[in-house]
Chains A and B, each alone.
Chain A
Amino acid sequence: DTAVSQTPKYLVTQMGNDKSIKCEQNLGHDTMYWYKQDSKKFLKIMFSYNNKELIINETVPNRFSPKSPDKAHLNLHINSLELGDSAVYFCASSQGYRDAFFGPGTRLTVL
């Protein structure tokens, strides 16, 4: 069984569009995250969400917004996509702030 799943795996879209990436975890974890990995492989946390408390990395543009319909899901919405948003986005989950389980990633390409 897949622990942390993301859809889609690849997303190619035009600049200015709005898109969403879905994430689901079946581990019963209470904390979920979104990370961005750029072309230099640098991983940067964007959001963490625990028990309805959202912690936002202040460097993340407000065009990015996480939505959590329930504990098992944390979707990422991106408005007005820009070229610089091209990256691989990883969803992850953990129980508290222990070791995290990562999804396979979504490769976003903005044209």
Chain B
Amino acid sequence: SQQGEEDPQALSIQEGENATMNCSYKTSINNLQWYRQNSGRGLVHLILIRSNEREKHSGRLRVTLDTSKKSSSLLITASRAADTASYFCAFGGADGLTFGKGTHLIIQP
């Protein structure tokens, strides 16, 4: 299976703390993307990192990619209550995106 594995499955932290989620995959990829899904809503694209990139920033988000270890991490700094959601990594390919199982993040006020 090309499906990714995300770790942890669930994470609960205090508002203001940093949240780190990890994603591992098995095959070679063109790019890796992170999406957020609020409860009962569709997915929202957060950030895309290409296979030849090692780190990318977008606001409070920082994504790293280690192709030798086939892993990526998403760091959300200074978390807010509104960051509570499920976060999915996804791998770009010719037949569409393959998603990981997701990390459910809860930010406690």
Contact = CB atoms under 8 A, between A and B. Distances in A.
Contact of A45 (B44, B86, B95): B95
A104 to B, nearest CB: 5
B77 interface: no
Contacts of A40: 101
Given A43-B99, A98-B48, A99-B33, A90 B94 contact: no
Contact of B30 (A44, A48, A97, A102): A97
A98 B92 contact: yes
B42 A99 contact: no
A66 interface: no
Interface SS, B side? strand
Contact of B96 (A33, A42, A99, A103): A33
Contacts of A90: 42-43
Given A55-B94, A97-B93, A98-B31, A42 B45 contact: no
Contact of A42 (B94, B97, B101): B101
A110 interface: no
B42 A104 contact: yes
Interface of A: 4, 31, 33, 35, 40-45, 48, 55, 57, 90, 92, 97-105
22 contacts: A31-B96, A33-B96, A41-B37, A41-B86, A41-B102, A42-B99, A43-B99, A45-B95, A48-B96, A55-B96, A90-B42, A97-B92, A97-B96, A98-B92, A99-B45, A99-B48, A100-B33, A102-B43, A102-B45, A103-B42, A104-B41, A104-B42
